[in-house]
Amino acid sequence: MLATKSNSYTFQKDGIWYFSRRVPAHLRRHYRTGRIAYSLRTKSIRDTRVRAMSDAAKLDRHWHILRISSDDLPGKHLLADATQEPAAEASIDDHSLKAAVAVYLRLKGNDRPPTFEAAVRRSCGYLIDCCGMKDLKEYVRSDATKFRDYLFAKGLDGASVARIFGTVRAVTNLALSEFGLAIVNPFSNVYFDHNVGVKKRLPIKPEDIKQVQVECYKADDEKRWLIALIADTGMRLAEGAGLLRSDFIEQDGILCVKTRPHPWRSLKTASSARLIPLVGSAKWAAERILVQPDGSEFAFPNYNDGQRTNANSASAALNKWLKVKIGPDYTIHSFRHSMRDRLRAVECPSDVIDQIGGWLTHGVGNSYGNGYDYNTLNKWMISLIRTKKPKNNPVKYHDFLKEPSSIIC
Confidence of residue 28 (pLDDT cuts 50, 70, 90): confident
| DSSP bridge pairs for 17 | 12
The whole-angstrom separation of Cα 377 and Cα 80 is: 50
- pTM > 0.85: no
Note the pLDDT of residue 169. 95
The whole-angstrom separation of Cα 79 and Cα 133 is: 10
Give tens-digit pLDDT for 299-313: 999 999 888 898 988
Q: Could you give all domains of the chain from N- to C-terminal order, each with its CATH number?
A: 3-68 (no CATH), 76-179 (1.10.150), 206-401 (1.10.443.10)
Note the pLDDT of residue 390. 38
More confident residue, 13 or 399: 13
Q: Which residues contact 122 (CB under 8 A, 6 or more apart)?
A: 68, 73, 74, 164
Confidence of residue 380 (pLDDT cuts 50, 70, 90): very high
Distance from chain centroid for Cα 66: 22
Give tens-digit pLDDT for 72-125: 555 554 554 443 443 333 456 789 999 999 999 999 888 776 778 888 989 999
- Alpha helices (H) in 69-113, listed in sequence order: 76-79, 88-91, 97-108
Give tens-digit pLDDT for 125-137: 999 999 999 999 9
